[in-house]
Structure 1
Amino acid sequence: AARNRAALIAAAREVFAEQGLNAPLSAVARRAGVGQGSLYRHFADRFALASAVLDENVQQIERAGAEPGASLKGVLGVVTWHLTRSTAFVDLLRVRGDGEQARALSERVRSVLARCLPAGHRLSADDVMLAVAMVSGAVAGPTPADRERVALAAWQLLGVEVGPLRPCEAVVDV
């Protein structure tokens, strides 16, 4: 059951990034390799599924911030990877997202970034969060590679160094 849930979240991230939040949920189930009944056993509706993806995105950012030797540069690489692959979820938070949920997710990300800021850094955690919002608004393009190019160009214009773009997956015991 846990593997199916993880597969559904990964598939939803991909399908929603490719087709938007109105993509057929059957496409998510197919991509995950499960039946639609399994999807609805785990998620009551589209909003619940998208919220689970958002939460997983933030959990990955938190894991990146907890890695030995975590740095602002490295965490921003994970943040940017998610911005280039989960762009449809920005709309979810604006249109249907609960303001409290959005604030809670944002505060979790801000907390990770604040812990990774070197002492005396020219930016504050609030500045970095503003930069994340600015980059997220600039990210556009039909493919992840196109969106990555735009995101990296935006960070460069802001004078912020970003590490390799990557997810920070959990280690799954089998």
Structure 2
Amino acid sequence: MTRQPPPGERRPANEGRKAAARNRAALVAAAREIYADQGLNAPLSAIARRAGVGQAVLYRHFPDRAAVATAVLGENVRQIEQAAAARGADIAGVLGVLTWHQTQSAAFISILHADGLAGRSGDLSYASELSGRVEHALRTLLPDNHPLTGAEGDLMIAVAMVSGAVTGPTREQREHRALAGWRLLGVEVGPVRPFD
């Protein structure tokens, strides 16, 4: 039975959509943090705990693991696409944004290796789709004589090779290794930063 407030006392307002939007934002932020450290196979319960909500709330917003990952990683990919579409964009600048994301998130690196994930983790078609969007954004800026211009698939092989070098306990160490990888491939990279 619902408790009625005593006369003169106001019933607390139902925040409805505001609470739902706050919960979704908290879940995406928590998933970004968890995925950055643990990768795409992190337990969904850890994401709900970090967001301060129950798992039922998580599933109300995201019906499965793929939906959570798509929401989080889609933001990373959107930044790369926006950097590529910005006025005066060049491949070095977009590679700087890509490299920033590589140094920030184990989960982002996983989508850049989408072909290898599909067999291990079930249906991760969203990873292939996001990886394809990254490739398309980069290809739109590649001049004909660029070291990354090559046969079909070569571009993402190079990206995956650099991703494989992104190791180390600090972001600075991971960035240093990523830039060394690009340098060894003969590729110039702009400032390593998120796209604003």
CA contact (8 A) 2:36 2:104 kept: yes
Query: If each structure's helix is expressed as a fraction of its own residues, which one has the higher value?
Result: 1
Per the alignment, residue 166 of structure 2 pairs with 139
Give 1:109-148 correspondences, 5 Å limit: 109-124=134-149, 126-148=153-175
Higher RCO structure, 1 or 2 (CA under 8 Å, sep 6+):
1
Per the alignment, residue 163 of structure 1 pairs with 190
How much has 1:59 moved relative to structure 2? 1.5
CA contact (8 A) 1:87 1:136 kept: no
Q: Distance in 1 between matches of 2:123 and 2:68?
A: 14
1:46 partner amino acid: R
Per the alignment, residue 179 of structure 2 pairs with 152
Q: Secondary structure at the match of 2:78?
A: helix
Per the alignment, residue 172 of structure 1 pairs with none
Counterpart pick for 1:98 among 119, 123, 129: 123
How much has 1:87 moved relative to structure 2? 1.5
How much has 1:112 moved relative to structure 2? 0.9
Q: Pick closer, same or farther for the CA change 1:7–1:143 going to 2, 3 Å.
A: farther
How much has 1:5 moved relative to structure 2? 3.1
How much has 1:97 moved relative to structure 2? 5.4
TM-score, length basis structure 1 = 0.78
Per the alignment, residue 17 of structure 2 pairs with none
How much has 1:68 moved relative to structure 2? 1.1
TM-score, length basis structure 2 = 0.70
Counterpart pick for 1:48 among 67, 75, 79: 67
Q: Secondary structure at the match of 1:116?
A: coil
Deviations 1:127-153 (A, max 9, x none): 432211101112112232222121111
How much has 1:99 moved relative to structure 2? 5.8
Higher mean C-alpha displacement, 16-25 vs 66-75: 16-25
1:135 partner amino acid: V
2:123 partner amino acid: D
How much has 1:72 moved relative to structure 2? 0.5
Counterpart pick for 2:53 among 25, 28, 35: 35
How much has 1:50 moved relative to structure 2? 1.9
CA contact (8 A) 2:77 2:130 kept: yes
Deviations 1:42-85 (A, max 9, x none): 11233321232222221121111111111111111111111122
CA contact (8 A) 1:14 1:85 kept: no
Q: Distance in 1 between matches of 2:22 and 2:187?
A: 36
Aligned-residue identity in percent: 61
Q: Distance in 1 between matches of 2:187 and 2:181?
A: 9
CA contact (8 A) 2:38 2:106 kept: no
Aligned residues: 168
Q: Distance in 1 between matches of 2:25 and 2:194?
A: 14
How much has 1:25 moved relative to structure 2? 3.8
Per the alignment, residue 85 of structure 2 pairs with 66
CA contact (8 A) 1:78 1:165 kept: yes
- Pick the structure with greater CA Rg: 2
Deviations 1:1-32 (A, max 9, x none): 45543443233122222234454545434554
